[in-house]
Chain A
Amino acid sequence: MDYITNILFAVLLFIGIGYFSKNVKKLSRNIKLGHDVDVSDNKSQRWKNMAMIALGQSKMVHRPIAGILHVIVYIGFIIINIEVLEIIIDGLFGTHRIGLSVLPVSVYGFLIGAFEVLAVLVLVSVIVFWIRRNILKIKRFWNKEMTSWPKNDANYILYFEVVLMSLFLIMNASDIHFQSMNSGNVISQFIAPWFSGFSESALHSMERTAWWFHIIGILIFLNYLYFSKHLHILLAFPNTFYGSVKPQGQFDNLEAVTKEVKMMMDPNVDPFAAPADNAEMPAKFGASDVQDLNWVQLLNAYTCTECGRCTSQCPANQTGKKLSPRKIMMDTRDRLEEVGKNIDANKGTFVDDGKQLLDNYITREELWACTSCNACVEACPVSINPLSIILDMRRYLVMEQSAAPTELNNMMTNIENNGAPWPYNQMDRLNWKNE
């Protein structure tokens, strides 16, 4: 009869991983809705960025308290997951603590002992995180865009961590065999006495229950990721790899525009020539919806974990303007999800829903408040670039809609007419010399 639990376990594992894979496919499809961008350059720098920024958390520790706590949770998360490997093998083959039959007791004990210590550290960190969010109410967690879902999402993750870590410790504490080994029960030996009055069979069921809930919890957590801001634990890696390797001040030169400008400057081009029959549709300048952005920008949106470091560093936001770089990323993801659902509902093609990223999500007032200072780009611990989206949307407003604020139109007219943003004659450019 024992094999029934093994089958049940295999089925659960299959469903858990299967549903997650299905959503990963959707995620990848949505990201590919963005247009292509060449990221094949500077491979070695990109690997280095990924190693330093994602794996090494180099930017997280810029804010030491949150940073160090995050590093603890992160290391704990990765290392404790080695234990999941054992759980999966045990579950599939009906073994118990398979590690013990392949590793010397001392090594196994050392590993589990380390996991237990980490589990406690993670618990403490997660509790501090919860206090920072809900009791200390640190400002960046309470900005306007932090409506009920983003706030709950953040807390759910914390509760998840508490439950998973507690289950791990209870599982070890109620494991009579493991406790009697007295190796590796660094923490659980102090929990075991709580259950001293329990019968052996009660302890056994408790251990089994904790074991099942632990693995089911992990599978639920895995599947929750797709719906949550917490995707960053996976996407931080590709995102830091594909993030910009250019100086922050360098904005891309639009190729479509370069072609037109070259034509205008070429005296041999016939300005009245009809476009060739096979000519492509002229590209749309800038972005008004998510499909106009490139796939790295869309990957950015899924990677954002809404920590708000960008927004707290933004000069516009600090002085009470509506612009919040975090909201730019959240809006981009929300709209992308909406477009993705639209495609799912319409058998693979997007049907115009009368909405777009501009105006329906991101207002013009937000876009025009940006000083392009790159503080948000610098602040992001996972190389997200909200500024590039703001610029692409400004490009759409100016080049497709001629909808710049009047003062900026005056500035641009001045540059066109006399080569300076102010109405001075270019012939007077050297007058300062004699003043």
Chain B
Amino acid sequence: MSELLNVPTMADFMAQGKQPEVLFWVGCAGSFDDRAKKITKAFVKLLNKAQVEFAVLGTEESCTGDPAKRAGNEFLFQMQAVTNIEVMNAYEIKKIVTACPHCFNTIKNEYPELGGNYEVLHHTQFLKSLLDDGRLTIEGGQFKGKRITFHDPCYLGRANNVYEAPRDLIKKLEAELIEMKNCKKDGLCCGAGGAQMFKDAEKGDKEVNIERTEQALDIKPEIIAAGCPFCNTMMTDGVKAKEKENEVPVMDIAELIANAQDL
């Protein structure tokens, strides 16, 4: 399968004197984390299928600085930001899509003051726009009628008020969208944000991801849908801790759409 993936870099486009329609910001998790890489590939398959002229920065991409900033290291964050902005401005980038809500939030909201002004979309928003423009069709396939719940990533939902794009896509799969007790504005965190992903939790009586997974399992979904590589990890671990990994898979929206079409 992998040889079918067409992933040009910005450098390739530059060499041909062309501009892609959109820059796909892969992010650290999407580049290095084994689980998240599958999401990256699923999204690329959809981009290829819809014949979107996109490019990645490849080895020129670097951490947006989100975890450093939320951990309190503003200095490191701004170093990362300024470096990334320099690269993207040199390529005259106008539009960015990313499958990571943390990268999405940082580039969209925190880069402009530092000189990086771009139109930034979460991949669910971008896929929705492809669908609306008739460039992508979505079939239910194996997910038709399945009970699917969507876990709102904090940095997509509360942080940026994006609630409907991912839900619209799930509905397009002709699946039954079910909501957890805490959803949308009241969504409960998976426990990974604010740099928690990279450290052990403080002493308490439960892990946050277990609490959230219990909320999800309470409504008996067949699939837990996610829109963030970190939420995906946390929820996957939660489902494993509950020994439900064979019954309730945790899947990114991009994976659901790609799998529905056997891409």
Find out whether the CB atom of A253 lies under 8 angstroms from the CB atom of B78: yes
Q: Check B49 for interface membership: any CB of A closer than 8 A.
A: no
| B54-62, B137-145, B252-260 - the one binding chain A | B54-62
Find out whether the CB atom of A424 lies under 8 angstroms from the CB atom of B32: yes
C-alpha spacing A371/B197, complex, angstroms: 9
Q: Check B109 for interface membership: any CB of A closer than 8 A.
A: yes
Question: What chain B residues lie within 8 Å of A23 (beta carbons)?
Answer: none
Per-residue CB contact flags for chain B residues 25-39 toward chain A (1 = under 8 Å, else 0) read 010101111000100
Find out whether the CB atom of B75 lies under 8 angstroms from the CB atom of A260: yes
How far is the CB of B119 from the nearest CB of chain A, in Å?
15
| Nearest-neighbor residue (CB-CB) of A404 within chain B | B71
Question: What chain B residues lie within 8 Å of A253 (beta carbons)?
Answer: 74, 78, 110, 113-114
Q: Check B205 for interface membership: any CB of A closer than 8 A.
A: yes
Find out whether the CB atom of B160 lies under 8 angstroms from the CB atom of A416: no
Question: What chain A residues lie within 8 Å of B70 (beta carbons)?
Answer: 251, 372, 391, 394
Q: Check B69 for interface membership: any CB of A closer than 8 A.
A: yes
Question: What chain B residues lie within 8 Å of A426 (beta carbons)?
Answer: 59, 62
C-alpha spacing A261/B79, complex, angstroms: 6
Question: What chain A residues lie within 8 Å of B5 (beta carbons)?
Answer: 433
| Nearest-neighbor residue (CB-CB) of B198 within chain A | A411
C-alpha spacing A429/B40, complex, angstroms: 12
Question: What chain A residues lie within 8 Å of B205 (beta carbons)?
Answer: 319-320
Q: How large is the interface on B (under 10, 10 to 19, 20 to 34, 35 or more residues)?
A: 35 or more
C-alpha spacing A249/B31, complex, angstroms: 23
| Nearest-neighbor residue (CB-CB) of B32 within chain A | A424
CB contact between A435 and one of B37, B68, B192, B210 (< 8 Å): that residue: B37
Q: Check A397 for interface membership: any CB of B closer than 8 A.
A: yes
Find out whether the CB atom of A372 lies under 8 angstroms from the CB atom of B193: yes
Find out whether the CB atom of B74 lies under 8 angstroms from the CB atom of A257: yes
Find out whether the CB atom of B208 lies under 8 angstroms from the CB atom of A429: no
Q: Check B80 for interface membership: any CB of A closer than 8 A.
A: yes
Question: What chain A residues lie within 8 Å of B72 (beta carbons)?
Answer: 286, 391, 393-399, 404
- Residues 152-206 of B at the A interface (beta carbon under 8 Å): 154-155, 158-161, 185-189, 191-206
Q: Check A382 for interface membership: any CB of B closer than 8 A.
A: no
Interface centre among A407, A432, A435 (most CB of B within 10 A): A432
C-alpha spacing A80/B235, complex, angstroms: 52
| A71-79, A223-231, A232-240, A362-370 - the one binding chain B | A362-370
Find out whether the CB atom of A430 lies under 8 angstroms from the CB atom of B9: yes
Question: What chain B residues lie within 8 Å of A249 (beta carbons)?
Answer: 105, 109, 154-155, 158-160
Per-residue CB contact flags for chain B residues 1-14 toward chain A (1 = under 8 Å, else 0) read 01001010100000
Would you call the interface of chain A mostly helix, strand, loop, or mixed? helix
Question: What chain A residues lie within 8 Å of B158 (beta carbons)?
Answer: 248-249, 373-375, 377-378
| A155-163, A290-298, A310-318 - the one binding chain B | A310-318
Find out whether the CB atom of B63 lies under 8 angstroms from the CB atom of A432: no
- Asked whether A373 and B62 contact (CB < 8 A) given A378-B185, A395-B74, A435-B37, the answer is no
Find out whether the CB atom of B154 lies under 8 angstroms from the CB atom of A421: no
Find out whether the CB atom of A432 lies under 8 angstroms from the CB atom of B75: no
Q: Check B76 for interface membership: any CB of A closer than 8 A.
A: yes
| Nearest-neighbor residue (CB-CB) of B188 within chain A | A315
C-alpha spacing A323/B158, complex, angstroms: 20
Q: Check A241 for interface membership: any CB of B closer than 8 A.
A: no
Question: What chain B residues lie within 8 Å of A420 (beta carbons)?
Answer: 28, 31-32, 62-63
CB contact between A371 and one of B79, B161, B203, B208 (< 8 Å): that residue: B208
CB contact between A433 and one of B2, B105, B108, B161 (< 8 Å): that residue: B2
Per-residue CB contact flags for chain A residues 2-28 toward chain B (1 = under 8 Å, else 0) read 000000000000000000000000000
CB contact between B82 and one of A261, A377, A394, A405 (< 8 Å): that residue: A261
Find out whether the CB atom of B78 lies under 8 angstroms from the CB atom of A365: no
| Nearest-neighbor residue (CB-CB) of B31 within chain A | A429
Q: Check A121 for interface membership: any CB of B closer than 8 A.
A: no
Question: What chain B residues lie within 8 Å of A399 (beta carbons)?
Answer: 72-75
> Which A residues form the contact surface with B (CB < 8 A)?
246-251, 253-254, 257-258, 260-262, 264-265, 285-286, 313, 315-316, 318-323, 365, 368-375, 377-378, 391, 393-399, 404-405, 407-408, 410-412, 415-416, 419-422, 424, 426-435
Closest 4 pairs (CB-CB, A-B): A249-B159, A394-B72, A372-B194, A419-B62
- What are 28 A-B contacts with C-beta separation under 8 Å? A246-B109, A247-B105, A248-B159, A249-B160, A261-B75, A262-B82, A286-B74, A313-B186, A319-B204, A319-B207, A319-B211, A365-B202, A370-B194, A374-B158, A374-B159, A394-B72, A395-B74, A397-B72, A399-B75, A408-B199, A411-B199, A415-B65, A421-B67, A421-B197, A429-B61, A432-B26, A432-B32, A432-B40
